[in-house]
Structure formats: structure tokens, C-alpha cells
Amino acid sequence: MKTDENKQLMRDYLEQVINAKEVSRIQEFLSEDYIEVHDKLREKVPFEEAKKRVLGLYTTFPDFHARIDRQIAEGDWVATCCTITGTHTGVWLNMKPTGKKLEYTLVSVDKIVDGKIAEHGGAANNFIAFLTAGAVKIG
């Protein structure tokens, strides 16, 4: 089934590139026309820029890890729900390093075309991470 293959591609990308820090393998997973979507902005991201963005994760969270909790696929689209963990040692969203271990959820929505990730978007529950880091106080 195509949807099972697409889900496996996303699992392999997260495990083999993101978690294993093998950014040199990014071209195995991303299409040449790879696009990232943030709000309403669609941005074509060349391989080298995609590598820099992934490497930026490790600058901020050297022990960054994405654990896949569940996936849903339909046609060319895969939604992956993850729990993200990492120790906050670099500036993140204008928040100074706290040295705290953060955990938050992320939903990634990716389009797979011809066996490669062609489009990526999603949302993260940064509010929980900010609470954990002490950047946001309630009460």
C-alpha cells in the first residue's frame, strides 16, 4: 500500500536523519522541489538550507529526539504526531537557554511525491515547552 510506504518513509526520515543526526542523508528523503509551509507562507528550501535548519535543532537541543506516537496517512499525505524531547542549551524562539530538559508535542504534515518528502508543515505545542522552561509563568 502506498500509504504504508509513505508512513515508513517519514519514520525512516525521523529516525535516520533527525534522531541519528545523519543530515548528510537528507537528499535521500527530500525532493529537489521540497517546500516548507509556515502559516500561509510556502517556501522552497534547497537541500543545503534544509541541512542548516536540521543542524540548528542540535545547536539549541543537542540531545533532540522525536518519538513517533502515531501516524495517519491518506493518499500522498502523512500526519505524524511526535513527542519531542531535548535539553535547551541554545537560543530558541528568542528564549535564552535554560539548561532544562523540555518535552512537547508536534504534529508534522508531509506530502510524499515519488517516494520523497515534497512538502512539510505542521504545528508544535510550544506553550508547554515555554512553561517547562520557565519562560511563561501562570498565576
Residue of 139 and 109 predicted with greater confidence: 109
For residue 96, what pLDDT is reported?
A: 84
Most confident of 65-69, 90-94, 95-99: 65-69
Q: By C-alpha distance, which of 88, 85, 106, 110 is closest to 97?
A: 88
C-alpha span between 84 and 125 (Å, rounded): 10
Domain chopping of the chain, boundaries: 2-133
Residue 139 has pLDDT above 70, yes or no: no
Q: Which helix (H) or strand (E) holds 15?
A: none
Alpha-helical (H) ranges within 30-119 are: 47-60
Q: What is the architecture of the domain spanning 2-133?
A: Roll (3.10)
Residue 33 has pLDDT above 90, yes or no: yes
Cβ atoms of residues 8 and 28 within 8 Å: no
The x, y and z cell numbers of residue 127, run together, are 506553550
What is the average pLDDT value for the chain, to the nearest integer?
A: 91
Q: What is the value of pTM for the model shown? A: 0.89
Query: What's the mean pLDDT in 14-22?
Result: 97
